[in-house]
Structure 1
Amino acid sequence: MDGWLQTASLAGAGLLAGAMNALAGGGTFVAFPALIASGVAPTVANATSNAALLPGAAASAYTLRRHLTPFGPLPMRAMVALTLAGGAAGAWLLHLTSETAFRAIVPWLLLFASLALTFGNHVRRALERSEFRLHAGPAAVVQFVLGIYGGYFGGAVGLLMMATWVLISELPVQRLAPTRTLLLACANAAACVLFAALGLIAWGRAAPLAAGGVIGGILGARLGLKLPAVWVRRVTLAITYATTAVFFWRS
Protein backbone atom coordinates (compact mmCIF):
# COMPACT_ATOMS: atom_id res chain seq x y z
CA MET A 1 0.00 0.00 0.00
CA ASP A 2 1.36 3.44 -0.92
CA GLY A 3 2.42 5.59 2.00
CA TRP A 4 -0.17 8.32 1.52
CA LEU A 5 -2.95 5.78 0.96
CA GLN A 6 -1.98 3.89 4.11
CA THR A 7 -1.93 7.15 6.09
CA ALA A 8 -5.35 8.16 4.77
CA SER A 9 -6.78 4.71 5.50
CA LEU A 10 -5.50 4.73 9.08
CA ALA A 11 -6.78 8.26 9.64
CA GLY A 12 -10.21 7.23 8.37
CA ALA A 13 -10.18 4.15 10.59
CA GLY A 14 -9.24 6.34 13.55
CA LEU A 15 -12.10 8.74 12.81
CA LEU A 16 -14.62 5.90 12.79
CA ALA A 17 -13.09 4.15 15.80
CA GLY A 18 -13.01 7.33 17.88
CA ALA A 19 -16.65 8.07 17.09
CA MET A 20 -17.69 4.48 17.87
CA ASN A 21 -15.92 4.56 21.23
CA ALA A 22 -17.67 7.78 22.17
CA LEU A 23 -21.09 6.58 20.98
CA ALA A 24 -21.34 2.92 21.95
CA GLY A 25 -17.88 1.35 22.17
CA GLY A 26 -16.31 -1.06 19.72
CA GLY A 27 -13.65 1.21 18.21
CA THR A 28 -11.13 -1.61 18.59
CA PHE A 29 -13.03 -3.51 15.89
CA VAL A 30 -12.01 -0.84 13.38
CA ALA A 31 -8.56 0.24 14.57
CA PHE A 32 -7.14 -3.23 15.26
CA PRO A 33 -7.90 -4.80 11.83
CA ALA A 34 -6.80 -1.59 10.08
CA LEU A 35 -3.39 -1.93 11.73
CA ILE A 36 -3.21 -5.64 10.91
CA ALA A 37 -3.96 -4.76 7.26
CA SER A 38 -1.10 -2.23 7.34
CA GLY A 39 1.32 -5.08 8.03
CA VAL A 40 2.07 -5.10 11.77
CA ALA A 41 1.99 -8.13 14.08
CA PRO A 42 -1.17 -8.68 16.17
CA THR A 43 0.37 -7.81 19.55
CA VAL A 44 1.92 -4.65 18.10
CA ALA A 45 -1.37 -3.84 16.38
CA ASN A 46 -3.20 -4.22 19.69
CA ALA A 47 -0.74 -1.99 21.56
CA THR A 48 -0.68 0.57 18.75
CA SER A 49 -4.47 0.62 18.61
CA ASN A 50 -4.56 1.33 22.33
CA ALA A 51 -2.07 4.19 22.01
CA ALA A 52 -3.71 5.64 18.92
CA LEU A 53 -7.21 5.68 20.41
CA LEU A 54 -6.05 7.21 23.69
CA PRO A 55 -6.14 10.85 22.46
CA GLY A 56 -9.68 10.33 21.15
CA ALA A 57 -10.77 8.80 24.45
CA ALA A 58 -9.15 11.68 26.34
CA ALA A 59 -10.88 14.19 24.05
CA SER A 60 -14.24 12.54 24.69
CA ALA A 61 -13.61 12.53 28.46
CA TYR A 62 -12.64 16.22 28.38
CA THR A 63 -15.75 17.06 26.34
CA LEU A 64 -17.95 15.35 28.95
CA ARG A 65 -15.97 16.47 32.02
CA ARG A 66 -18.78 18.62 33.41
CA HIS A 67 -21.13 15.64 33.44
CA LEU A 68 -19.02 13.36 35.68
CA THR A 69 -21.10 12.01 38.55
CA PRO A 70 -19.79 10.15 41.63
CA PHE A 71 -21.60 6.88 42.24
CA GLY A 72 -21.53 3.68 44.27
CA PRO A 73 -19.55 2.77 47.40
CA LEU A 74 -16.19 3.77 45.89
CA PRO A 75 -15.06 7.38 45.43
CA MET A 76 -14.08 8.47 41.93
CA ARG A 77 -10.39 8.60 42.85
CA ALA A 78 -10.51 4.94 43.88
CA MET A 79 -12.23 3.97 40.62
CA VAL A 80 -9.56 5.82 38.66
CA ALA A 81 -6.71 4.24 40.64
CA LEU A 82 -8.12 0.72 40.24
CA THR A 83 -8.62 1.20 36.51
CA LEU A 84 -5.10 2.57 36.06
CA ALA A 85 -3.62 -0.38 37.97
CA GLY A 86 -5.72 -2.87 36.03
CA GLY A 87 -4.81 -1.29 32.70
CA ALA A 88 -1.09 -1.57 33.50
CA ALA A 89 -1.53 -5.20 34.59
CA GLY A 90 -3.39 -6.01 31.36
CA ALA A 91 -0.64 -4.43 29.27
CA TRP A 92 1.99 -6.51 31.07
CA LEU A 93 -0.08 -9.65 30.48
CA LEU A 94 -0.16 -8.86 26.77
CA HIS A 95 3.62 -8.48 26.83
CA LEU A 96 3.89 -11.98 28.31
CA THR A 97 1.61 -13.47 25.61
CA SER A 98 3.48 -14.94 22.65
CA GLU A 99 2.62 -13.81 19.11
CA THR A 100 1.41 -17.30 18.21
CA ALA A 101 -0.82 -17.52 21.27
CA PHE A 102 -2.27 -14.05 20.69
CA ARG A 103 -3.10 -14.88 17.07
CA ALA A 104 -5.10 -17.85 18.34
CA ILE A 105 -6.77 -15.83 21.10
CA VAL A 106 -7.76 -12.78 19.02
CA PRO A 107 -10.83 -14.28 17.25
CA TRP A 108 -12.23 -15.41 20.60
CA LEU A 109 -11.58 -12.02 22.17
CA LEU A 110 -13.41 -10.41 19.27
CA LEU A 111 -16.30 -12.87 19.65
CA PHE A 112 -16.50 -12.18 23.38
CA ALA A 113 -16.53 -8.43 22.73
CA SER A 114 -19.19 -8.86 20.03
CA LEU A 115 -21.42 -10.83 22.41
CA ALA A 116 -20.83 -8.23 25.11
CA LEU A 117 -21.97 -5.49 22.73
CA THR A 118 -24.99 -7.56 21.73
CA PHE A 119 -26.20 -8.71 25.12
CA GLY A 120 -24.57 -6.25 27.52
CA ASN A 121 -27.69 -4.11 27.77
CA HIS A 122 -29.85 -7.19 28.41
CA VAL A 123 -27.49 -8.28 31.18
CA ARG A 124 -27.52 -4.78 32.62
CA ARG A 125 -31.34 -4.68 32.71
CA ALA A 126 -31.48 -8.13 34.32
CA LEU A 127 -29.02 -7.01 36.97
CA GLU A 128 -31.01 -3.84 37.53
CA ARG A 129 -34.10 -5.91 38.33
CA SER A 130 -32.22 -7.91 40.94
CA GLU A 131 -31.76 -6.62 44.45
CA PHE A 132 -28.14 -7.77 44.59
CA ARG A 133 -25.59 -5.01 45.15
CA LEU A 134 -21.82 -5.07 45.51
CA HIS A 135 -20.13 -3.49 48.52
CA ALA A 136 -16.85 -1.62 48.31
CA GLY A 137 -14.50 -4.66 48.37
CA PRO A 138 -16.14 -6.73 45.61
CA ALA A 139 -16.78 -3.57 43.58
CA ALA A 140 -13.06 -2.77 43.70
CA VAL A 141 -12.16 -6.27 42.49
CA VAL A 142 -14.62 -6.05 39.60
CA GLN A 143 -13.30 -2.66 38.50
CA PHE A 144 -9.69 -3.89 38.69
CA VAL A 145 -10.54 -6.92 36.51
CA LEU A 146 -12.28 -4.65 33.99
CA GLY A 147 -9.14 -2.52 33.94
CA ILE A 148 -7.04 -5.62 33.18
CA TYR A 149 -9.27 -6.51 30.25
CA GLY A 150 -9.15 -2.91 29.06
CA GLY A 151 -5.35 -2.94 29.08
CA TYR A 152 -5.03 -6.38 27.50
CA PHE A 153 -7.52 -5.96 24.66
CA GLY A 154 -10.41 -3.68 25.61
CA GLY A 155 -13.11 -4.57 23.08
CA ALA A 156 -16.51 -3.58 24.55
CA VAL A 157 -14.96 -2.93 27.97
CA GLY A 158 -17.01 0.26 28.26
CA LEU A 159 -20.24 -1.68 27.90
CA LEU A 160 -19.03 -4.27 30.41
CA MET A 161 -18.38 -1.45 32.86
CA MET A 162 -21.89 -0.09 32.36
CA ALA A 163 -23.40 -3.55 32.82
CA THR A 164 -21.58 -4.25 36.09
CA TRP A 165 -21.99 -0.76 37.53
CA VAL A 166 -25.71 -1.35 38.04
CA LEU A 167 -24.60 -3.59 40.91
CA ILE A 168 -23.04 -0.62 42.71
CA SER A 169 -25.15 2.32 41.57
CA GLU A 170 -28.77 3.25 40.96
CA LEU A 171 -27.97 6.09 38.58
CA PRO A 172 -29.44 5.91 35.05
CA VAL A 173 -27.15 4.86 32.22
CA GLN A 174 -27.03 8.35 30.71
CA ARG A 175 -25.41 9.73 33.87
CA LEU A 176 -22.86 6.90 33.97
CA ALA A 177 -21.69 7.37 30.38
CA PRO A 178 -19.26 10.26 31.10
CA THR A 179 -17.62 8.23 33.89
CA ARG A 180 -17.32 5.26 31.54
CA THR A 181 -15.54 7.50 29.03
CA LEU A 182 -13.12 8.76 31.70
CA LEU A 183 -12.26 5.29 32.99
CA LEU A 184 -11.80 3.94 29.47
CA ALA A 185 -9.23 6.69 28.95
CA CYS A 186 -7.56 5.71 32.24
CA ALA A 187 -7.22 2.04 31.25
CA ASN A 188 -5.85 3.07 27.84
CA ALA A 189 -3.41 5.55 29.37
CA ALA A 190 -1.94 3.10 31.86
CA ALA A 191 -1.55 0.43 29.17
CA CYS A 192 -0.07 2.94 26.73
CA VAL A 193 2.69 3.94 29.13
CA LEU A 194 3.73 0.32 29.57
CA PHE A 195 3.42 -0.48 25.85
CA ALA A 196 5.66 2.49 25.04
CA ALA A 197 8.26 1.39 27.60
CA LEU A 198 8.23 -2.13 26.13
CA GLY A 199 8.58 -0.88 22.55
CA LEU A 200 5.31 -2.42 21.38
CA ILE A 201 3.90 0.67 19.65
CA ALA A 202 4.36 1.36 15.92
CA TRP A 203 4.36 5.15 16.25
CA GLY A 204 4.39 5.84 12.51
CA ARG A 205 1.06 4.06 12.15
CA ALA A 206 -0.31 5.31 15.45
CA ALA A 207 -0.04 8.99 14.46
CA PRO A 208 -2.66 9.11 11.64
CA LEU A 209 -4.91 6.73 13.56
CA ALA A 210 -4.70 9.00 16.61
CA ALA A 211 -5.39 12.16 14.58
CA GLY A 212 -8.56 10.63 13.19
CA GLY A 213 -9.47 9.28 16.62
CA VAL A 214 -9.36 12.72 18.25
CA ILE A 215 -11.76 14.18 15.69
CA GLY A 216 -13.98 11.11 15.86
CA GLY A 217 -13.99 11.17 19.67
CA ILE A 218 -15.11 14.81 19.81
CA LEU A 219 -17.75 14.36 17.10
CA GLY A 220 -18.99 11.13 18.65
CA ALA A 221 -19.34 12.68 22.11
CA ARG A 222 -21.41 15.53 20.67
CA LEU A 223 -23.47 13.42 18.27
CA GLY A 224 -24.27 10.89 20.96
CA LEU A 225 -26.89 13.25 22.33
CA LYS A 226 -28.59 13.60 18.93
CA LEU A 227 -28.35 10.35 16.97
CA PRO A 228 -30.99 7.61 17.42
CA ALA A 229 -29.45 4.98 19.68
CA VAL A 230 -30.92 2.12 17.63
CA TRP A 231 -29.03 3.15 14.49
CA VAL A 232 -25.77 3.59 16.36
CA ARG A 233 -26.20 0.12 17.82
CA ARG A 234 -27.02 -1.53 14.48
CA VAL A 235 -24.02 -0.06 12.70
CA THR A 236 -21.70 -0.93 15.61
CA LEU A 237 -22.89 -4.55 15.73
CA ALA A 238 -22.61 -4.94 11.96
CA ILE A 239 -18.97 -3.83 12.09
CA THR A 240 -18.10 -6.00 15.09
CA TYR A 241 -19.57 -9.23 13.73
CA ALA A 242 -18.09 -8.69 10.27
CA THR A 243 -14.65 -8.16 11.81
CA THR A 244 -15.01 -11.21 14.05
CA ALA A 245 -16.06 -13.41 11.12
CA VAL A 246 -13.03 -12.28 9.08
CA PHE A 247 -10.61 -13.13 11.89
CA PHE A 248 -12.14 -16.56 12.44
CA TRP A 249 -11.93 -17.21 8.70
CA ARG A 250 -8.27 -16.12 8.60
CA SER A 251 -7.39 -18.30 11.59
Structure 2
Amino acid sequence: MVEILVLAVTGFVAGVLNSVAGGGTFLTFPALVWAGLPPVAANATATFAALPGYLGGAWGFRHDIRSEGALKLWQIIALSLVGSVTGALLLLVTPSDVFDGLVPVLLLVATGLFAFGPRLLATLRSRGMGATGPGLSAALVFVVAVYGGYFNGGLGILLLALFGLIGFTNLNTMNGLKVLLSGLMAVLSCAAFAIAGLIGWYEGLIMAAACTLGGWIGAGLARRMPVAVLRALIVVIGLGMAVVFFLR
Protein backbone atom coordinates (compact mmCIF):
# COMPACT_ATOMS: atom_id res chain seq x y z
CA MET A 1 0.00 0.00 0.00
CA VAL A 2 2.83 2.39 0.87
CA GLU A 3 4.50 1.63 -2.47
CA ILE A 4 1.30 2.40 -4.40
CA LEU A 5 0.88 5.69 -2.53
CA VAL A 6 4.49 6.76 -3.14
CA LEU A 7 4.29 5.92 -6.85
CA ALA A 8 0.94 7.71 -7.26
CA VAL A 9 1.94 10.88 -5.40
CA THR A 10 5.33 11.00 -7.12
CA GLY A 11 3.70 10.50 -10.52
CA PHE A 12 1.15 13.27 -9.94
CA VAL A 13 3.75 15.80 -8.80
CA ALA A 14 6.02 14.82 -11.69
CA GLY A 15 3.19 15.35 -14.17
CA VAL A 16 2.59 18.85 -12.81
CA LEU A 17 6.31 19.66 -12.88
CA ASN A 18 6.75 18.41 -16.45
CA SER A 19 4.06 20.80 -17.67
CA VAL A 20 5.08 23.76 -15.50
CA ALA A 21 8.87 23.66 -15.43
CA GLY A 22 10.19 20.22 -16.37
CA GLY A 23 12.21 17.94 -14.12
CA GLY A 24 9.57 15.36 -13.22
CA THR A 25 11.97 12.49 -13.92
CA PHE A 26 14.07 13.67 -10.96
CA LEU A 27 11.17 12.39 -8.85
CA THR A 28 9.93 9.35 -10.77
CA PHE A 29 13.31 7.77 -11.51
CA PRO A 30 14.51 7.49 -7.89
CA ALA A 31 11.00 6.48 -6.76
CA LEU A 32 11.06 3.56 -9.20
CA VAL A 33 14.54 2.54 -8.06
CA TRP A 34 13.23 2.69 -4.47
CA ALA A 35 10.35 0.44 -5.56
CA GLY A 36 12.90 -2.19 -6.59
CA LEU A 37 13.49 -1.67 -10.31
CA PRO A 38 17.07 -1.79 -11.68
CA PRO A 39 18.29 1.63 -12.97
CA VAL A 40 17.91 0.77 -16.68
CA ALA A 41 14.37 -0.55 -16.12
CA ALA A 42 13.58 2.42 -13.86
CA ASN A 43 14.68 4.81 -16.60
CA ALA A 44 12.51 3.03 -19.19
CA THR A 45 9.54 2.87 -16.81
CA ALA A 46 9.92 6.56 -15.91
CA THR A 47 9.72 7.41 -19.61
CA PHE A 48 6.57 5.29 -19.95
CA ALA A 49 5.01 6.85 -16.84
CA ALA A 50 5.63 10.38 -18.14
CA LEU A 51 4.07 9.65 -21.54
CA PRO A 52 0.37 10.28 -20.78
CA GLY A 53 1.27 13.31 -18.67
CA TYR A 54 3.12 14.78 -21.64
CA LEU A 55 0.15 14.14 -23.92
CA GLY A 56 -2.23 15.61 -21.34
CA GLY A 57 -0.05 18.71 -21.10
CA ALA A 58 0.11 18.98 -24.90
CA TRP A 59 -3.68 18.92 -25.03
CA GLY A 60 -3.75 21.73 -22.47
CA PHE A 61 -1.39 23.79 -24.66
CA ARG A 62 -3.00 22.74 -27.97
CA HIS A 63 -3.93 26.32 -28.94
CA ASP A 64 -0.38 27.58 -28.32
CA ILE A 65 1.62 25.05 -30.36
CA ARG A 66 3.03 26.47 -33.58
CA SER A 67 6.37 26.93 -35.31
CA GLU A 68 8.79 29.82 -34.85
CA GLY A 69 12.35 30.30 -36.06
CA ALA A 70 14.23 28.60 -38.91
CA LEU A 71 12.51 25.18 -38.86
CA LYS A 72 8.95 24.23 -39.71
CA LEU A 73 6.93 22.34 -37.11
CA TRP A 74 6.96 19.08 -39.08
CA GLN A 75 10.76 19.29 -39.40
CA ILE A 76 11.17 19.69 -35.64
CA ILE A 77 8.85 16.74 -35.01
CA ALA A 78 10.56 14.48 -37.57
CA LEU A 79 14.06 15.23 -36.23
CA SER A 80 12.86 14.65 -32.67
CA LEU A 81 11.37 11.27 -33.51
CA VAL A 82 14.49 10.03 -35.33
CA GLY A 83 16.72 11.27 -32.52
CA SER A 84 14.62 9.69 -29.77
CA VAL A 85 14.70 6.29 -31.47
CA THR A 86 18.48 6.60 -31.79
CA GLY A 87 18.79 7.40 -28.08
CA ALA A 88 16.50 4.53 -27.07
CA LEU A 89 18.53 2.07 -29.15
CA LEU A 90 21.72 3.34 -27.50
CA LEU A 91 20.17 2.62 -24.10
CA LEU A 92 19.23 -0.90 -25.15
CA VAL A 93 22.85 -1.73 -26.03
CA THR A 94 24.33 -0.06 -22.94
CA PRO A 95 25.41 -2.69 -20.34
CA SER A 96 23.56 -2.35 -17.02
CA ASP A 97 26.73 -1.72 -15.00
CA VAL A 98 27.81 1.01 -17.43
CA PHE A 99 24.43 2.72 -17.16
CA ASP A 100 24.60 2.44 -13.35
CA GLY A 101 27.84 4.40 -13.50
CA LEU A 102 26.42 6.96 -15.91
CA VAL A 103 23.27 7.69 -13.86
CA PRO A 104 24.83 10.11 -11.33
CA VAL A 105 26.74 11.87 -14.11
CA LEU A 106 23.57 12.23 -16.18
CA LEU A 107 21.68 13.50 -13.15
CA LEU A 108 24.38 16.10 -12.46
CA VAL A 109 24.45 17.23 -16.10
CA ALA A 110 20.66 17.44 -16.26
CA THR A 111 20.48 19.31 -12.95
CA GLY A 112 23.15 21.75 -14.03
CA LEU A 113 21.38 22.44 -17.31
CA PHE A 114 18.11 22.84 -15.46
CA ALA A 115 19.65 25.26 -12.96
CA PHE A 116 21.74 27.35 -15.34
CA GLY A 117 19.97 26.82 -18.67
CA PRO A 118 17.86 30.01 -18.55
CA ARG A 119 20.88 32.11 -17.54
CA LEU A 120 22.99 30.54 -20.27
CA LEU A 121 20.27 31.19 -22.82
CA ALA A 122 19.96 34.82 -21.73
CA THR A 123 23.74 35.25 -22.02
CA LEU A 124 23.81 33.76 -25.51
CA ARG A 125 20.98 36.01 -26.63
CA SER A 126 22.65 39.11 -25.14
CA ARG A 127 25.67 38.31 -27.30
CA GLY A 128 23.58 37.91 -30.42
CA MET A 129 23.88 34.12 -30.54
CA GLY A 130 20.14 33.30 -30.58
CA ALA A 131 18.00 32.23 -33.53
CA THR A 132 20.40 29.82 -35.26
CA GLY A 133 20.15 28.94 -38.96
CA PRO A 134 18.28 25.86 -40.27
CA GLY A 135 21.33 23.56 -40.42
CA LEU A 136 22.53 24.17 -36.87
CA SER A 137 18.92 24.24 -35.62
CA ALA A 138 18.31 20.78 -37.11
CA ALA A 139 21.52 19.41 -35.55
CA LEU A 140 20.63 20.79 -32.12
CA VAL A 141 17.11 19.31 -32.27
CA PHE A 142 18.53 15.90 -33.19
CA VAL A 143 21.15 15.91 -30.41
CA VAL A 144 18.64 16.90 -27.73
CA ALA A 145 16.25 14.21 -28.98
CA VAL A 146 18.98 11.55 -28.74
CA TYR A 147 19.56 12.61 -25.14
CA GLY A 148 15.81 12.42 -24.46
CA GLY A 149 15.56 8.93 -25.91
CA TYR A 150 18.51 7.75 -23.82
CA PHE A 151 17.80 9.48 -20.50
CA ASN A 152 14.62 11.48 -19.88
CA GLY A 153 15.93 13.49 -16.93
CA GLY A 154 16.24 17.22 -17.61
CA LEU A 155 14.75 16.90 -21.11
CA GLY A 156 12.22 19.67 -20.49
CA ILE A 157 14.76 22.39 -19.74
CA LEU A 158 16.95 21.20 -22.62
CA LEU A 159 14.02 21.57 -24.99
CA LEU A 160 13.14 25.03 -23.65
CA ALA A 161 16.75 26.18 -24.07
CA LEU A 162 16.81 24.63 -27.54
CA PHE A 163 13.64 26.45 -28.64
CA GLY A 164 15.09 29.75 -27.50
CA LEU A 165 18.25 29.14 -29.50
CA ILE A 166 16.41 28.25 -32.71
CA GLY A 167 14.23 31.33 -32.63
CA PHE A 168 11.18 30.75 -30.41
CA THR A 169 10.09 33.67 -28.23
CA ASN A 170 6.60 32.85 -26.87
CA LEU A 171 6.85 30.92 -23.58
CA ASN A 172 3.45 29.24 -23.90
CA THR A 173 4.35 28.10 -27.42
CA MET A 174 7.67 26.78 -26.12
CA ASN A 175 6.00 24.95 -23.22
CA GLY A 176 3.37 23.46 -25.52
CA LEU A 177 5.90 22.19 -28.04
CA LYS A 178 8.09 20.94 -25.19
CA VAL A 179 5.41 18.61 -23.83
CA LEU A 180 4.24 17.61 -27.33
CA LEU A 181 7.74 16.58 -28.43
CA SER A 182 8.41 14.91 -25.09
CA GLY A 183 5.25 12.86 -25.58
CA LEU A 184 6.00 11.88 -29.17
CA MET A 185 9.58 10.95 -28.29
CA ALA A 186 8.36 8.92 -25.33
CA VAL A 187 5.97 6.94 -27.57
CA LEU A 188 8.80 5.67 -29.77
CA SER A 189 11.21 5.16 -26.89
CA CYS A 190 8.60 3.20 -24.95
CA ALA A 191 7.92 0.99 -27.95
CA ALA A 192 11.60 0.03 -28.03
CA PHE A 193 11.71 -0.44 -24.25
CA ALA A 194 8.57 -2.58 -24.27
CA ILE A 195 9.94 -4.86 -26.99
CA ALA A 196 13.11 -5.26 -24.92
CA GLY A 197 11.07 -6.07 -21.79
CA LEU A 198 12.46 -3.16 -19.77
CA ILE A 199 9.23 -1.54 -18.58
CA GLY A 200 7.88 -2.40 -15.13
CA TRP A 201 4.20 -2.39 -16.05
CA TYR A 202 2.75 -2.58 -12.54
CA GLU A 203 4.75 0.37 -11.25
CA GLY A 204 4.54 2.20 -14.57
CA LEU A 205 0.75 2.06 -14.90
CA ILE A 206 0.21 3.40 -11.38
CA MET A 207 2.60 6.25 -11.98
CA ALA A 208 1.31 6.94 -15.51
CA ALA A 209 -2.28 7.40 -14.32
CA ALA A 210 -1.13 9.94 -11.74
CA CYS A 211 1.13 11.69 -14.28
CA THR A 212 -1.80 12.12 -16.67
CA LEU A 213 -3.82 14.06 -14.11
CA GLY A 214 -0.78 16.05 -13.06
CA GLY A 215 0.11 16.96 -16.64
CA TRP A 216 -3.38 18.26 -17.36
CA ILE A 217 -3.48 20.34 -14.17
CA GLY A 218 0.07 21.57 -14.69
CA ALA A 219 -0.75 22.99 -18.13
CA GLY A 220 -3.29 25.30 -16.50
CA LEU A 221 -0.95 26.28 -13.67
CA ALA A 222 1.89 27.13 -16.05
CA ARG A 223 0.13 30.27 -17.28
CA ARG A 224 -0.27 31.88 -13.86
CA MET A 225 2.12 30.21 -11.41
CA PRO A 226 5.62 31.50 -10.58
CA VAL A 227 8.08 28.66 -11.10
CA ALA A 228 11.10 29.98 -9.17
CA VAL A 229 10.35 27.93 -6.06
CA LEU A 230 9.57 24.83 -8.10
CA ARG A 231 12.79 25.21 -10.06
CA ALA A 232 14.80 25.53 -6.86
CA LEU A 233 13.14 22.42 -5.43
CA ILE A 234 13.87 20.44 -8.59
CA VAL A 235 17.54 21.47 -8.48
CA VAL A 236 17.81 20.36 -4.84
CA ILE A 237 16.16 17.03 -5.67
CA GLY A 238 18.41 16.51 -8.69
CA LEU A 239 21.57 17.21 -6.72
CA GLY A 240 20.38 14.99 -3.88
CA MET A 241 19.65 12.11 -6.23
CA ALA A 242 23.04 12.49 -7.93
CA VAL A 243 24.77 12.27 -4.54
CA VAL A 244 22.71 9.20 -3.59
CA PHE A 245 23.60 7.40 -6.83
CA PHE A 246 27.27 8.37 -6.53
CA LEU A 247 27.32 6.76 -3.07
CA ARG A 248 25.52 3.56 -4.13
Equivalence for 1:144? 142
Q: Which moved more, 1:91-100 or 1:180-189?
A: 180-189
- 1:125 is matched with which residue: 122, 140, 149? 122
Alignment partners' CA distance in 2, 1:110 and 1:188: 19
- 1:184-199 superposed matches below 5 A: 184-199=182-197
CA-atom RMSD in angstroms:
1.3
Contact persistence 1:71–1:169 (CA under 8 A): yes
Mapped pair 1:22 → 2:22: no
- 1:82 is matched with which residue: 79, 82, 95? 79
Equivalence for 1:116? 113
Q: Which residue identity does 1:122 align to in structure 2? A: R
CA offsets 1:94-138 (integer angstroms, 9 cap, x no match): 001011001000000000011011100011101211323422122
**Could you state the TM-score of these two structures normalised by the residue count of structure 1?**
0.94
Contact persistence 2:15–2:214 (CA under 8 A): yes
Deviation at 1:166, TM superposition (A): 2.5
Mapped pair 1:43 → 2:40: yes
Equivalence for 1:60? 57
Contact persistence 2:45–2:198 (CA under 8 A): yes
Percent identity over paired residues: 35
Q: Structure 1 residues 193, 58: closer, same or farther in 2, change over 3 A?
A: same
**Could you state the TM-score of these two structures normalised by the residue count of structure 2?**
0.95
Q: Which residue identity does 1:60 align to in structure 2? A: G
Q: Which moved more, 1:99-108 or 1:13-22?
A: 13-22
Structure 1: gaps spanning 5 or more residues? none
Alignment partners' CA distance in 2, 1:229 and 1:242: 20
Alignment partners' CA distance in 2, 1:170 and 1:114: 23
Q: Which residue identity does 1:114 align to in structure 2? A: T
Deviation at 1:164, TM superposition (A): 2.6
Equivalence for 1:213? 211
Q: Which runs of 4+ in 1 moved over 4 A?
A: none
- 1:209-248 superposed matches below 5 A: 209-248=207-246
Contact persistence 2:44–2:190 (CA under 8 A): yes
User: The residue matched to 1:225 in structure 2 has which SS?
Assistant: coil
Equivalence for 1:160? 158
Alignment partners' CA distance in 2, 1:218 and 1:51: 17
Alignment partners' CA distance in 1, 2:215 and 2:40: 24
Structure 2: gaps spanning 5 or more residues? none
Contact persistence 2:132–2:167 (CA under 8 A): no
Alignment partners' CA distance in 2, 1:40 and 1:246: 16
Alignment partners' CA distance in 2, 1:165 and 1:225: 18
